[in-house]
């Protein structure tokens, strides 16, 4: 049986742990061992997630498969702590909202270490630190970020992902998928965080101009980065997610509500950063980025 390590105990990490544990031994790597068990709530029914737990300090064997579903701003620190514990031919799977520069991560890996990115629209929220509430099914996609991962992707998917996640698929161009997911994040997360509303409310005509402007800028910057996105398609995708997750609160809305740092730097902030590099202006994303940063400081 495969063994998979998952860094942290965030909502997505616990959702994936619950799925993977059906066919795989799953171990959470946490900063502390405060909890003896973890639970998932689905349709008001709770059950234990069959996982074990360790800390970085307690790791004794090398890790072959590791999922890193941490916040974008936690990624560098998590990978730095993880690096000494990885097998020379480890598979590392990143998963977070927004965009990060994987080229720097690839350069830090050993020759046979494979890097992947996984994106999922499964919904979850954490009412307690050791409990995740499942709020909706969704598509999970995984793709390769370096050449060794490209070669291994079919076997990794068939042996690890597919048996546990029925709504999953491997993709040839994960960069395009990440940009598409970024557009969904841009359309939903910051506005829902400012309004403190459920995702479905953003479908109202009152917010249409703002959503359009945000995505128009994102698609323009994507094109400058060599990724061709159609504004009409990204609008359709964003509004479809708003509909499918109408009763959900976005992760950013939850972060703002409880006074936690958000991933806005990797979402609207990423668009601003790329726009600056290309010498263009993105006023709507700039404004939204600054508004969320003010909320964080407050």
pLDDT one digit per residue (tens) for the chain, 298 residues: 579 999 999 999 999 999 999 899 999 999 888 788 999 999 889 999 999 999 999 998 899 999 999 999 999 999 999 999 999 999 999 999 999 889 999 999 999 999 999 999 888 888 888 999 988 788 899 999 999 999 999 999 999 999 988 889 999 999 999 999 999 999 999 999 999 999 999 999 999 999 999 999 999 999 999 999 999 999 999 999 999 889 888 999 999 999 999 999 999 999 999 999 999 999 999 999 999 999 999 8
How far apart, in whole angstroms, are the C-alpha atoms of residue 285 and residue 266?
12
- Residue 36: the pLDDT is 80
**Can you tell me whether residue 71 is helix, strand or coil?**
coil
Domain ranges of the chain: 3-172, 175-297
Helix, strand or coil for residue 180?
Answer: helix
Q: Compute the distance between CA of residue 81 and CA of residue 93 in angstroms, rounded to an integer.
A: 15
**Is there a common fold for 3-172 and 175-297?**
no
What 8-state DSSP symbol labels residue 139?
-
Q: CA nearest 125: which of 14, 256, 242?
A: 14
Rounded CA separation 165/252 (Å): 25
DSSP-assigned beta bridge partners for residue 140: 120, 168
Distance CA(59)–CA(165), nearest Å, equals 27
CB 200 within 8 A of CB 173: no
CATH class for the region spanning 3-172: alpha beta
Catalytic residue ranges:
181
Q: What is the DSSP letter of 288?
A: H
CATH architecture, domain 175-297: Orthogonal Bundle (1.10)
């Amino acid at each position: 049986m495969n063994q998979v390590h998952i860094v942290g105990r965030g909502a997505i990490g616990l959702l994936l742990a619950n799925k993977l544990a059906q066919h795989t031994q799953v171990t959470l790597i946490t900063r502390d061992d405060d909890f003896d068990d973890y639970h998932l709530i689905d349709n008001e029914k709770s059950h234990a997630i069959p996982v074990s737990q360790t800390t970085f300090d307690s790791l004794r064997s090398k890790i072959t498969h590791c999922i890193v579903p941490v916040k974008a701003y936690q990624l560098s620190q998590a990978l730095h702590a993880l690096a000494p514990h990885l097998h020379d031919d480890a598979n590392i799977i990143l998963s977070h909202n927004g965009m990060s520069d994987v080229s720097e991560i690839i350069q830090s890996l050993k020759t046979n270490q494979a890097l992947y990115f996984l994106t999922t629209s499964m919904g979850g929220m954490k009412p307690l630190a050791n409990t995740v509430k499942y709020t909706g099914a969704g598509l999970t996609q995984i793709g390769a970020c370096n050449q060794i991962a490209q070669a291994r992707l079919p076997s990794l998917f068939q042996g690890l992902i597919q048996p546990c996640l029925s709504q999953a698929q491997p993709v040839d161009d994960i960069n395009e998928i990440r940009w598409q997911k970024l557009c969904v994040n841009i359309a939903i997360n910051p506005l829902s965080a400012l309004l403190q509303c459920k995702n479905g409310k953003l479908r109202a005509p009152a917010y249409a101009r703002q959503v359009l402007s945000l995505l128009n800028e994102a698609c323009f910057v994507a094109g400058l980065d060599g990724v061709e996105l159609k504004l009409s398609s990204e609008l359709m995708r964003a509004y479809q997610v708003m509909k499918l997750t109408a009763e959900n609160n976005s992760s950013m809305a939850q972060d703002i509500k409880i006074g936690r740092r958000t991933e806005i730097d990797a979402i609207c902030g990423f668009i601003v950063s790329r726009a600056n590099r290309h010498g263009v202006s993105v006023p709507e994303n700039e404004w939204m980025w600054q508004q969320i940063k003010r909320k964080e400081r407050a």
